[in-house]
Amino acid sequence: MSTNQSIKPITAEEKEHLMIGGCDTVELAKKYGTPLYVIDEATLRGICRDYKEAFKDYKNIKMMYASKALCTSAITRILDEEGFGFDTVSAGEIYTVFKAGVDMANVLFNGNNKSASELELAIDCKVGRFSVDNFYEAELLNRIAEEKGVNVDILLRITPGIECHTHDYIQTGQIDSKFGFDLSQADEIVTLITEKYKNLNLKGLHAHIGSQIFELKSYYDEVDILVKEIARINEKFGLKLNEMNIGGGLGVKYTKDDTPPSVNDLAKAVTDAMHKYAVEIPTIYIEPGRSIVSTAGVTLYTVGSSKQVPEGRKYVAVDGGMADNPRPSMYQAEYTAQVANKINQANEETVTIAGRYCESGDILINEINLPKLEAGDILCVYNTGAYNYSMASNYNRVEKPAMVLVNNSQSDIIVYRETLDNLISHDNIPDRLRKND
C-alpha cells in the first residue's frame, strides 16, 4: 500500500493518547495551542520516495511538486531534499521556493492569468519552464523576455477534453475549462511562436486533468492525446518537441470508502500508455500535490460548546472550521477524525462537528461516531495536509493557525500562529478619520 492510500500518517500510534511522529498530539495541542496544523515528516518523505520508486524504470521522468497544495519554506526544503522540482502558480510560490534555495531550473510557472510583474519575477529568478496558458500570455511573455534580452523555455498548456469523475470545481481537463488552449487552437499558437515570438522556445505540451482522481484510464487517455499531438505538431512544423507534462491529481484516502489507486498503479498506467508508441522516450513531468502532502497532515482542534437539537442532530463545536479548512464548505469534502485524548475509548454517540465561524455551512464533519465529547477534548482530523493551510483565510477576523513539523519525537514550528497585531498590521486609518489625541 502506498502512502496516499492511508487515512492516517504512517507514524500514527494509539497509545494512551494519539501519537504522530513520536509526539503526543495532546501535548502538542497544549504546547502550541489549537487549531494546529501538524505535518509528519516521515509520511511526507515516504510518499516522495514512493513516487521515485514507482517511476524508477522510466529514465526521463521529472517529479514536480504542485506547490499550491501546501507551500511553506520548510516544506519546500524537504521536497527539494527529496529531489523534487516545483510547479508554482504565483509570485508568492516562486519567491518562497527561491528564498528556500531551490535550483530554479527545476521550477515551472503555471497559471491562467499571470501578471506582467509575476512574469518579470519568474524571469529574474531564472524559472526553468513557463507553462503558457493562452494567447495573451504568449504575447506578454515574449515582449517581457525581449525587453530583458533573454529567451525562455515554454510548454503549451492544452485542454485534452478529458472529464474526470471528481468535483466540478477541481476538473481542469475538460473542453469547457478556463485553463489552456483547445486542441483546435494548437496550430495557431505554434505558428505565432515559430514565426513571431522569437524569445519563446517551445519544448513541449502540458495538460492537467483535475484533482482527487481515482480513474487511471484518465491518465492513460491523457498520455495518448499528448503523444499524438506532439507527433502531429512535430511533423507539421518540423519541430522536435520532446517534453510532456501530464500534471498531477492522484487521489488520496479521506474516508474508509475512498479507494485511490496506488502510486505504482499510476506509474504503470503512464508507462503502459507510453509503450504503445515506437517513439523516442520524451521527458515526462508529473506534478503531484495533494497525494504528496495530504496524508502527512492532520489538524488538532479543541472541543468547546455542544447543542442537542430536539429530535435532531447533536452539534459539537471546535475552535476552528471553515477558515482553516474551507474544503467541506466548498467541495462537500469528507474527513475522518478521532479524539486524541480518548483514543482508547469506544464510540458512544453520533455527532456533527461544527466550526466556530458565523456561517450555518461551517460544518467540518457530518454525523461521525466518536467517544462522548466534552469541552477541552482534542479532536484530530486526518488528511488535512493539502489545501487547508494553503486555502485558509482570516474570516471573522480570526488569526490563522500555527503549523508544526514532527519527526522522531521532536516538534518544530514551521509556521507561526498569527497574532491580533498581525491581523491589523496592514490596516490604515486615514488622517481625516483619526481621533484627536
Residue at 193: amino acid letter: I
| 403 touches 413 (CB < 8 A) | yes
Task: Give the integer Cα–Cα distance in Å for 105 and 247.
Answer: 18
Q: Which residues are CB-neighbours of 308 under 8 A, at least 6 positions away?
A: 314, 315
> Torsions phi, psi of 37, nearest 5?
-85, 135
Task: Give the integer Cα–Cα distance in Å for 429 and 413.
Answer: 33
Residue where the block lists cell 500508455: 273
Q: Where are the beta strands (DSSP E) in 190-336?
A: 200-206, 243-245, 283-286, 297-308, 314-318
Task: Give the integer Cα–Cα distance in Å for 86 and 287.
Answer: 8
Cis omega (within 30 of 0) for bond into 35: yes
268-274's contacts with Cβ under 8 Å and 24+ in sequence apart are 269/216, 269/217, 269/219, 269/220, 270/55, 270/58, 270/219, 270/220, 270/223, 270/246, 271/55, 271/57, 271/58, 272/220, 273/219, 273/220, 273/223, 273/224, 273/227, 274/58, 274/223, 274/227
**Active-site residue, from 23, 48, 71, 358:** 358
Query: Quick one: angle between helices 73-81 and 41-54, nearest 10?
Result: 40
Q: Which residues are CB-neighbours of 239 under 8 A, at least 6 positions away?
A: 190, 194, 202, 233
Using the CB atoms, write b or e for 224-238: b if 16+ within 10 Å. bbbbebbeebeeebe
Q: Establish whether 358 is a catalytic residue.
A: yes
The C-alpha cell of 219 is what?
491518465
| 373 touches 316 (CB < 8 A) | yes
Active-site residue set: 358
